[in-house]
């Protein structure tokens, strides 16, 4: 079997977004060269089902290798597909109904629709426990407060999505609902002990791992008891030591969007990408900015070729990545 060149291996790590309801030419060109591993869609990319199917088909057809096309279709408050698509209850409503079979059926129905549209990766379910009612980024996206209750529904949703051929994603590891700060705005910091988290926040993630969830999304929260320096997305202690070694997870590990201010207020795009890759992330989400996406590709490629991880973290966009 012919091995892929390094340039393409680096490209397959990148999941990128763009504005508009048709794919920009630079995205199609980079897909053709194998320099993008997937695309994430937002409401800005969505109109009618016919338009979405045409968009995803153009992405799949342009790609040198099979690609992931991702979306956040949790149901409830976070759903990129709205008018003209299947509406579903949010996580808290499903948790209140407390019927895991219903949770599985709802997830399967969403996945059938996603698959018909050419979308093969759902960034759901959100399985954070509710700790802080003032948390601005979880709220009704949480199934509830009890770890076992959340676990039952998390497993049901994972089964529902994946039984219909769509990869599910347990998020936001290792749990981000115990803070009043939104990582879109600044870096949340949690002081809780790992021993306590093992019996609380990590219970649903352990259940999702055992259920064979395809992917786990890492949040930008910093957990001081585990990681004194970095957000979880850039922490080897979180990804390799906790998730891989202690919990035994062997599936895909992806970052949350690396353009959130929890990251960008302190780190440049190339720096954050190299740190996340060194920490063990398999795919990196840069959801908005073309210049960041190209800078990240250059930084990762330079680091892999040279072994000079420090210099690669501050590399600027090169002409190579623009071609």
Has 148 been annotated as catalytic?
no
Q: CB within 8 A of 49, min separation 6: which ones?
A: 84, 85, 116, 117
- Identify the active-site residue in 146, 184, 241, 288: 184
Q: Which two tokens mark 51?
A: 């338009």
Residues 277 and 220: their CA atoms lie apart, in Å, by 14
∠ Cα 107 113 115 (to 5°)? 100
- Contact (CB, 8 A) for 204 and 127: yes
How many residues does the structure list for the chain?
323
- Give helix 49-62 / helix 25-32 axis angle, nearest 10°: 40
SS3 (DSSP) at 40: strand
60 is catalytic: no
Catalytic residue among 256, 288, 298, 308: 256
The stretches of the chain forming alpha helices (DSSP H) are: 6-11, 25-32, 49-62, 91-97, 100-116, 147-163, 194-198, 202-210, 236, 261-264, 269-279, 290-306, 309-312, 319-322
Rounded Cα–Cα distance for residues 261 and 267 (Å) = 9
Cα–Cα separations (whole angstroms), residue 103 to 124, 125, 170, 181, 243: 12, 11, 15, 29, 25
Burial of residue 289 (CB within 10 Å: 0-12, 13-18, 19+) is: middle
Active site residues: 184, 256
């Amino acid at each position: 079997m012919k091995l892929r060149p390094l340039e393409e291996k680096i490209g397959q790590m990148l999941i990128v977004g763009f504005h508009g309801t048709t794919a920009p030419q630079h995205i199609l060109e980079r897909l053709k060269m194998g320099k993008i591993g997937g695309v994430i869609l937002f409401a800005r990319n969505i109109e009618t089902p016919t338009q979405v199917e045409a968009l995803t088909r153009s992405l799949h057809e342009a790609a040198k290798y099979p690609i992931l096309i991702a979306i956040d279709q949790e149901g409830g408050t976070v759903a990129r597909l709205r008018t003209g698509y299947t509406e579903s209850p949010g996580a808290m409503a499903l948790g209140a109904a407390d019927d895991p079979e219903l949770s599985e059926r709802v997830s399967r129905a969403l996945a059938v629709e996603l698959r018909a549209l050419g979308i093969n990766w759902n960034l759901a379910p959100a399985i954070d426990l509710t700790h802080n009612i003032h948390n601005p980024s979880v709220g009704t996206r949480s199934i509830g407060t009890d770890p076992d209750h959340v676990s039952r529904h998390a497993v049901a949703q994972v089964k529902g999505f994946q039984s219909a051929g769509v990869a599910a994603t347990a998020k936001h590891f290792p749990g981000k609902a115990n803070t009043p700060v939104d990582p879109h705005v600044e870096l949340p910091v949690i002081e809780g002990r790992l021993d306590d988290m093992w019996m609380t926040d990590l219970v649903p993630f352990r259940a999702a791992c055992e259920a064979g969830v395809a992917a786990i999304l890492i949040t930008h929260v910093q957990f001081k008891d585990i990681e004194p320096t970095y957000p979880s997305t850039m922490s080897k202690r979180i990804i390799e030591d906790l998730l891989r070694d202690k919990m035994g997870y062997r599936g895909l590990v992806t970052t949350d969007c690396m353009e959130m201010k929890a990251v960008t207020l302190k780190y440049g795009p190339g720096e954050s990408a190299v740190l996340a890759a060194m920490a063990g992330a398999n795919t990196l989400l840069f959801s908005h900015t073309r210049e960041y996406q190209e800078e990240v590709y250059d930084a990762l490629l330079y680091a892999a070729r040279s072994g000079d991880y420090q210099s690669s973290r501050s590399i600027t966009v090169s002409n190579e990545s623009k071609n």
